[in-house]
Amino acid sequence: MTLKPGLGRYWPINASGLAVAAVAALAVSLTACAPAATTAQATRSATAVSQSAQASGIAAIVRKGMKTYHLRAVIVRVTKGDKVVTTQAFGPSMTGVPATPAMHFRNGAIAFAYVATLLMEYVDEHKVSLNDTINRWVPALPEANKVTLKMLANQTSGYPDFETDPAWTAAFNADPFRIFTYKERLGYAFRRPVQFKPGANWSYAHTNFMILGHILSLIGKKPLATLLQQKVLGPMGLTSTTSSTTAKMPEPVLHSFSSERERALQIPPKVTFYEEATYWNTDWGTPPGANQTTNIYDLTKTAVAVGTGKLLSRSSYHAMTDPNLLGFGHRQANCVPSCFKQIPAYNFGLGVVRAGSWILQNPLVSGYSATEAYLPSQKIAIAVAVTFEPAAFNSQGVEPDASDPLFRAIGAYMAPNDAPPTKK
């Protein structure tokens, strides 16, 4: 596997070109000449037509994005308040099998938002404080008396990411179906020294959430999968989000394909290499018990539940979702490209990402890219999941996190006065 964005890492992409495709005069008025007796009916008709027009505008954005990013399939759902703006699927899951909104896909780092929600529930229950150091639960880890729960959740611990370790990369490429244990992942992570003093910089590391999930299971005295189901997924109303330690996925399945192992398998550059990645085991990238699949309906529910702080006190909601790290962080030789300054287009909360006023998560894993996002001021929720054509992958086997620019273009269309910022 070539070093690339993992389950949640994202480098902001300018999506302004996609938004242009949807800028059109879509307002429709049917009430101007309506008799007074039919005003209510006309108003309902105008709303329906307007929603249909918005669905068409979103479809135009998606179709342009499919060409730009060489996407095989896209599933999208947008809601505003209690109204569904659109639920659509484009392209094939497999040859001859159209993608549908009912299909399941990997949700990767969206589980980080669930893990962070569980943490903040424990804060609200006065079981822990964000400033508790982790030596209380895992005293053998480096700097355990200085690293706090908050540092794990906001990626400022300084712990190396096991995904960037060459030995881990080689092991994954040799067998993408392999299950990596918690102990094995710790071993890969700490073959290298801590990257910086706890709290001194920001660097994306799956290691942080793996450790945090383990600690939460110790606090709750149950497996993490059980705690998440009882305290997060169930209360959020998620009925199609399931976890597994294996590569099992519930039907129907949105199939994914990847070229990322091309160099590792020594495929000649002129040979097109494109393999099914649907059943690669993604358990490695999330805490044990948080390897999940979902569908577009639950992804939208997640955007709303996380974006409104449905399960949290207001103080915990703000601690989790406010742009507290904006302007923090810097590039550093021993953690590039995972460490960088937090900017308006991308700044990390606790398990979630901020893009302007939008609260989101945007994983990229095993040929899937997905984004769930919410704009609290307008109650807009956007969920996008995509798969890729061979042309999406560059010579290093890296594909773009294409659901993210699609979300940003749709967000700009739905909320032009509060659009998700893009990196210029």
The pLDDT tens digits of the residues spanning 340-366 come to 999 999 999 999 999 999 999 999 999
The structure's pTM equals 0.90
Q: Is the pLDDT of residue 49 over 90?
A: no
State the pLDDT confidence band at 7, using cuts at 50, 70 and 90.
low
Segment 187-192 mean pLDDT: 97
* Cβ neighbours, 10 Å, residue 82: 7
Query: Where are the domains positioned within the chain?
Result: 16-418
Proportion of the chain above pLDDT 90, given as a percent:
85
- Which DSSP letter does residue 44 get? H
- Asked, as a colleague might, if the bond just before 400 is cis with ω within 30 of 0, I would say no
Q: State residue 295 phi and psi, 5-degree precision.
A: -135, 180
Most confident of 4-8, 51-55, 234-238: 234-238
Q: Residue 103 in contact with residue 252, Cβ under 8 Å? A: yes
State the pLDDT confidence band at 25, using cuts at 50, 70 and 90.
very low
Q: Is the pLDDT of residue 373 over 80?
A: yes
Cα-based torsion angle of the residue sequence 152, 202, 374, 251 in order, rounded to the nearest 10 degrees:
-60
Of 35-39, 79-83, 403-407, minimum mean pLDDT range:
35-39
Average pLDDT, the chain: 90
Higher pLDDT, 110 or 21: 110
Q: Is the pLDDT of residue 381 over 70?
A: yes
Environment class of 170 (CB within 10 Å of its CB; exposed 0-12, middle 13-18, buried 19+): exposed
User: What ranges make up the beta strands (E) of 182-312?
Assistant: 242-243, 257-258, 275-276, 292-294
* Cβ neighbours, 10 Å, residue 83: 10
Dihedral-angle region of residue 327 (phi above 0 means left; psi in -120 to 50 means alpha; beta otherwise): left
Q: What is the pLDDT of residue 317?
A: 98
State the pLDDT confidence band at 176, using cuts at 50, 70 and 90.
very high
**Residues with Cβ < 8 Å from 155, sequence gap 6 or more?**
202, 203, 204, 205, 208, 348
- Which DSSP letter does residue 253 get? B
Q: What is the pLDDT of residue 318?
A: 98
Closest CA to 132 of 14, 66, 193, 215: 215
Q: Is the pLDDT of residue 106 over 60?
A: yes
Q: Is the pLDDT of residue 308 over 70?
A: yes
Q: Is the pLDDT of residue 139 over 80?
A: yes
- Give me the half-sphere count of Cα atoms (radius 13 Å) on the Cβ side of residue 57: 23
Q: Is the pLDDT of residue 9 over 70?
A: no
Instruction: Write down the CATH number for the domain with range 16-418.
Output: 3.40.710.10
Largest CA distance in the chain: 77
Q: Residue 98 in contact with residue 171, Cβ under 8 Å? A: no
State the Cα angle at 323 between 320 and 324, rounded to 5°: 80
Closest CA to 420 of 377, 386, 367, 385: 377
Q: Residue 374 in contact with residue 418, Cβ under 8 Å? A: no
- pLDDT tens-digit series, residues 385-421: 999 999 999 988 999 999 999 999 999 999 999 999 9
Segment 261-288 mean pLDDT: 94
Q: Which residues pair with 371 in a beta bridge?
A: 384
